[in-house]
């Protein structure tokens, strides 16, 4: 697999479209941090780390509204292995007029674009969530 973050986003996107209650994803520290940000921003209901003796799994419990539609409308991978996308703190993206979240990988870890702007640090734009 050449892009584990794209695979992570695709698994969540597919599970939400199929209206599954949860999805299991192979774990990594980057994926754990992105999952934690999704929980903090209230895009997912909860998550647990499962130790399977290998690299582990992240079980993400998806969140739906009363009509059964997923809270996550769209997950977009921005920076790809073949074309990295970087932004300084002045040019950090706004997603859907600040209704969504941009997830940024910075020197201080993986944070949202709002936090990066507040701390005045730039980084690699990983994905948009809205």
Mean pLDDT by 10 residues, the chain (130 residues): 93 97 97 98 97 94 96 96 96 93 97 97 97
Is the Cα torsion angle 110, 30, 99, 6 positive or negative in sign? positive
Which pLDDT score is estimated for 5? 97
HSE value, Cβ hemisphere, 13 Å, CA-based, for 86: 6
Question: Which pLDDT belongs to residue 37?
Answer: 98
Q: State phi, psi for 29 to the nearest 5 degrees.
A: -65, -40
Cα 101 to the center of its chain, rounded Å: 9
Which helix (H) or strand (E) is 30 found in, with range? Answer: helix 29-40
Whole-number pLDDT of residue 20: 97
């Amino acid at each position: 697999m050449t892009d584990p973050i794209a695979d992570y986003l695709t698994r969540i996107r597919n599970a939400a479209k199929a209206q599954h209650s949860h999805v299991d994803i192979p774990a990594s520290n980057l994926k754990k941090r992105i999952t934690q940000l999704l929980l903090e921003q209230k895009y997912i209901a909860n998550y647990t780390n499962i130790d399977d003796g290998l690299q582990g799994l992240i079980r993400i419990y998806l969140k739906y509204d009363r009509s059964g539609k997923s809270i996550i409308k769209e997950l977009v991978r921005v920076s790809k292995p073949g074309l990295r996308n970087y932004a300084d703190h002045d040019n950090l993206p706004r997603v859907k007029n600040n209704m969504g979240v941009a997830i940024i990988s910075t020197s201080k870890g993986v944070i949202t674009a709002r936090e990066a702007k507040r701390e005045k640090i730039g980084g690699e734009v990983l994905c948009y969530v809205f």
